[in-house]
Each structure stands twice: as structure tokens, then as C-alpha cells.
Structure 1
Amino acid sequence: MHTEPAPGLLARLRRVAASSLAMLECRIGLFATELESDLLRVGKGLILLLLAAIFGAFMLLTLLALLTVMLWETHRLLALSLSAACLLFAAVWCASLAARRLTSGKTFLAQTRAEFEKDRQAFSRSEP
């Protein structure tokens, strides 16, 4: 009284399962590769940004100290005002650049998301 599924149906189910697992493995591999690439890119960028900030800060402080020493006897208020204005300008400029960089750019893991969307659309199509 117990009927077993036809061998064709079982074989077809196995092929579908194997294909699904292979596709999932491919997508996970893409995810891992893209994640590694993005993390390396961000890490290198942060290191370079930190070094640029350190060297820029030392350069700016040296220039401001030079300006202050040069003008101390005759125009000390002007020297200190120019120093403060330069630092304010640099802070506003860096903040605007950071805001622009953070709001624009590619979406994190965009290729992986696109592949999953293609898979979802392919599976949601109705068979004729």
C-alpha cells in the first residue's frame, strides 16, 4: 500500500538539490571574495588616511608656528587669528569631504546582492 516515488522523480529531485547546493556554494564564494576585497580596500584606505592626517597635522602645526614666530613682535594678534582661521578652514573642509565620501559610493556587496536578486527572480517565474 505504500507507494515509492518514481525513480525519475527522485533523480530529478536529487539533481535540483545538487544544482541548488552548487548555486549556493557559488554565491557564498562570491560573497566571501567580495567581502574580502571590500575589507582590504577599506583597511588600506584607512591606513593611508591616518598617515595623511598625521603628516598633514605636523605640517600645518609647523607652518603655523613659523608664521607666529615671524610675526610675534609686530602682529601677534594677526598671526594667531590667521592660525585659528587656517585650522577652522581645514576642519570644515575635511568634514565636508568625509560627509561626501560617506554618502556616495558603491553599495556594500552590490554584486552579491545582484546575483541573489537574479536567483530570486529566476525561481519566482512561473513555469509555462
Structure 2
Amino acid sequence: MTDNDRTTPPRPSLRRIAGALLEIVQSRIELIGIELTEEKERLMGVAFLGLAAMLFGVLALVSLTALVIVVFWDTYRLQAMTGIFIVYLLLAAWCAIRARNILRDAPMPFEATLAEFEKDRDALRPD
């Protein structure tokens, strides 16, 4: 035997490499599935609560608007309607700004999966 043969580590078989790669891919796909399920459940819950809140909020606003207009019908009808309009406009602007900020600051979907792919890529790169 030569010195070159003793210093070279044995080569892993192609079958073992392929098996390891398949296991890595399978675990990453499972992670994507888990994250997708979690994200779907979270979004469904938030969407349902958001729609219910909007429905009850609209009902409350319609009732309040009717009450204010009826109370001020004889004296300050236009001022009452203008005041209600301004309040609704300010609330709509606040909600739009808040929604934009939430979407802008939301975490990246599949963050854990992407981090694992990054680790895999770094591990497979030759040094």
C-alpha cells in the first residue's frame, strides 16, 4: 500500500449518500407541511374572528348612527351627521394604517424551513 491510500478516507457508497439526501429532503418536506398547517389554522382563526368583529362592529355603528341622528334631528342634524362622518373616517384611516403595519412587520412564512435549507446548503458546500 502506498501512503496515499492510507491517508484517503474511505468513500461513502452512492447508496448511502442518496439515502441520506432522501432523508434530509423528507424531513424538510415534513417541516414545510407542519408549518403550512399551523399557518392555515392561525389564519382561519384570525379570519373568522375578524369577520365576526366586523359584523358586530357594523351593527353597532349603524345603531349608534341612527341614535345620534334621531336625537339631534330637530336641532343639529347636519352637525351630528358631519361629526359621525369624521369619526368614521378617522377610525377607517387608523384601521388601514394599523393593518399595513401588521402586514409589513409580519414574520416571513416558512422561516424555520428556510433556515434548515440554509443549514443544509452550508453543510453540503465544500470548505
Q: TM-score, normalised by structure 1?
A: 0.87
Provide the residue aligned with 1:30 in structure 2: 31
Runs of 4+ aligned structure 1 residues displaced above 2 Å come to none
Q: Any gaps of 5 or more consecutive residues in structure 1?
A: 1-7
Query: Is structure 2 residue 10 aligned with structure 1 residue 39?
Result: no
Provide the residue aligned with 2:104 in structure 1: 103
Mapped to 2, the partners of 1:52 and 1:64 lie a distance apart of 18
1:25, CA displacement in angstroms?
0.4
Q: Secondary structure at the match of 2:76?
A: helix
Size of the alignment, in residue pairs?
Answer: 118
Corresponding letter in the other structure for 2:72? L
RMSD value, Cα:
1.3
Matches within 5 A, 1:68-79: 68-79=69-80
Per-residue CA deviation, residues 20-65 of structure 1 (Å, 9 max, x unaligned), is: 1011100000001001111111121111111111111111111111
Per-residue CA deviation, residues 54-112 of structure 1 (Å, 9 max, x unaligned), is: 11111111111111100111111111111111211121111111111110121010000
1:125, CA displacement in angstroms?
3.3
Matches within 5 A, 1:77-88: 77-88=78-89
1:116, CA displacement in angstroms?
0.2
Q: Which structure dedicates a bigger proportion of its chain to helix?
A: 1
Mapped to 2, the partners of 1:78 and 1:28 lie a distance apart of 61
Provide the residue aligned with 1:113 in structure 2: 114
Query: Is structure 2 residue 40 aligned with structure 1 residue 49?
Result: no
Q: TM-score, normalised by structure 2?
A: 0.87
Query: Is structure 2 residue 18 aligned with structure 1 residue 17?
Result: yes
